[in-house]
A and B are shown apart, each in its own frame.
Chain A
Amino acid sequence: MITLSGATRNFVVGEQTVHALNKVDLKVDSGEYIAIVGPSGSGKSTLLNAIGLLDRLSSGAYRLEDRDVTDLSSDEAAQIRREKIGFVFQFFHLIPRLTAFGNIELPLTLAGIDPSERASRVAAVLDDIGLADRAEHRPDQLSGGQRQRVAIARATVTHPKLLLADEPTGNLDRASGKDVVHILERLNADGITLLMVTHDPELANRARRKIRMVDGAIESDSLAVPQ
């Protein structure tokens, strides 16, 4: 599904050039469950952003579903994000003035889908994450775990093939973190490809494949032993 070859992303900081990604080769198949781990500044998030087409590679090539997406215009990238990719962030990034329903509806609204279909799709995902009774609550009326579940619903309401999660439990207590992980794993079981950046070793060990990054390069790429 994803093929990165020689993917490099440089940032110029002052006089220095920092290689946030340094010639990364990576192949991800459809339906995989991957945890990306590594110390801060090792390029985990940069990798995720590049895969999510929020960022462009300085050099190297990126193919997504047999299409070369290395040099897309920002609007073409936006279209692919809209259709194929869902994002979940550490700080949820829900829009504070919109209700849970409104937040989940947003990607459908942006895609120009008509209101009746939006309503039924949003209702379905709200049901999935067990928050049907919180549809009209604004983010500040929800707990952290509930907010992240809403964010996941928002990322998946468009039925993307690829779900990118950057520290999805990083801002949650243990119990709600677990809930969130269960939801993500269930989505993966239903066929979505899940890439998750995490600091939490326990969480990382749950993934079937673990990629460890150091200094912008992949240090190890291992399949977990089924427990």
Chain B
Amino acid sequence: MTEFHVHQTDRGIGVIAPEGRLNMVSAKQLTEAVAGLIDAGAPRIVVDLSGTEFMDSSGLGALIAGLKSTRQAGGDLRLAQPTEQVRTVLSLTNLDRVLRARDTVEGAFDVV
């Protein structure tokens, strides 16, 4: 069972941390979490992937959808601390430039 921990930082940045697998069963929850933060006025979102042990193409699709919806709302979606499997998926799909991984959640919006 994948758990999604969602909160906002003092700077108004939304943080979503999927714990477990981001896959065809749980990807929809990520999309809902992104929509919830945008609705709450936090279109700048960091997805903390340090606890995401596995991601499939459905999970990746949800990240791309989140990237598009946050940008449409004037924000952005950034990834932080991906595990090795997630890094491998980003690399295999050539999406590691579009979804460039940041070293920390706190610093994900410090650099463009």
Question: A and B: partners?
Answer: no
Which residues of B pack against A, CB within 8 Å? Answer: none
